[in-house]
Copies of this chain bind each other. A is one copy, B any other.
Amino acid sequence: MTNAMTADLSSYLEEKRRVVHEAMARRMDVLPKESRLAQAMRYCLDAGGKRVRPILCIAAAEAVGGSQQDCLDAACALEFIHTYSLIHDDLPAMDDDDLRRGKPTCHKAFDEATAILAGDALLTYAFQVLCRPGPPSCESRMRVAEIIAEKAGWPGMVEGQMLDIQAEGKHISLNELENLHRKKTGALIEAAVLAGAVLAGADAARESALLEYAQKIGLLFQVTDDILNVSGSPEELGKAVGTDELREKSTYPSLLGLDGAREFARELTREALRALEGFDNRSDPLRALARYLENRRK
């Protein structure tokens, strides 16, 4: 990646993060200030994060000529759902994590009951904003809501989290690992890209090419996550490293070796870029995002 592209992507991401931040703030400002539930929801949303899913949604829409404005409800809903999933994953009964992005996790900053409810409320609020009337049309908004529910639910993310728990301390095959991650991490990334495509009115061929792209970067995201858990810096990541090995989790580095995992990440990046052949330069941010995910250090 050249320096110029890095700089371009950085300013693109910065600008989109600002847009997403403002859109989320508008949707959170209506919640009552004095509610403990609302405080916990806001605490977790404000903890930061890269906003990868909302940005992917907008970037996918713009890649096929859609408008950012039409994506904002879906973009916020995706981040609400991602945030709820982190809150519940961090609970003592699940991963039992005390820190997230360098800050106390929700059940540490508040308490366990509040954390469970804040997750529930963020998930439900996602569908409240997805299902309100708005552009571009009832049909496309409802299709997006259905896609997101499917990818976030038992056919996707929640099942992935269940499989992840069941896999702990077990040796699983590469196929099982891929199935687990396609559900746990990949499904919501697919939902983000598909949502953008649908809201932009992409034709079937473009939609299917974007889905292919999303499947590749969804897996790429997890492969690099696994690599960072072995070789990353706790300071840059804002969370502990080496935890997968401690938990005896099967990961790409444990199954392929660190070099093998890095080669796999390169191949997934190439495939993601290939899926976008035939798209014009409006899809450059999607291309840059794939390269960024391959090379990310946090």
Q: Which one of A155-163, A218-226, A247-255 is at the B interface?
A: A155-163
Most buried by B among A128, A141, A143: A128
A123 to chain B, nearest CB (A): 6
A148 to chain B, nearest CB (A): 8
The verdict on A288 contacting chain B, using a C-beta distance below 8 Å, is no
Q: Is the CB of B142 within 8 A of A131?
A: yes
B-side contacts of A152, CB under 8 Å: 124
Q: How many residues of A contact B (CB 8 A)?
A: 47
Within 8 A of B (CB), among A107-152: 111-114, 116-117, 119-121, 123-125, 127-128, 130-133, 138-139, 141-143, 145-146, 149-150, 152
CA distance A222 to B139 in the complex (A): 38
Number of this chain's copies in the complex: 2
The verdict on A153 contacting chain B, using a C-beta distance below 8 Å, is yes
Chain A residues in the interface with B (C-beta under 8 A): 31, 35-38, 41, 84, 88, 91, 93-94, 111-114, 116-117, 119-121, 123-125, 127-128, 130-133, 138-139, 141-143, 145-146, 149-150, 152-154, 158-159, 161-162, 165-166
Please, could you name 25 A-B residue pairs with CB atoms under 8 Å apart, sorted by A? A35-B154, A36-B166, A37-B154, A37-B158, A37-B162, A41-B154, A93-B112, A94-B116, A114-B162, A116-B116, A117-B161, A117-B162, A120-B123, A121-B154, A124-B149, A124-B154, A124-B158, A125-B154, A127-B131, A128-B146, A131-B131, A131-B143, A131-B145, A132-B146, A133-B143
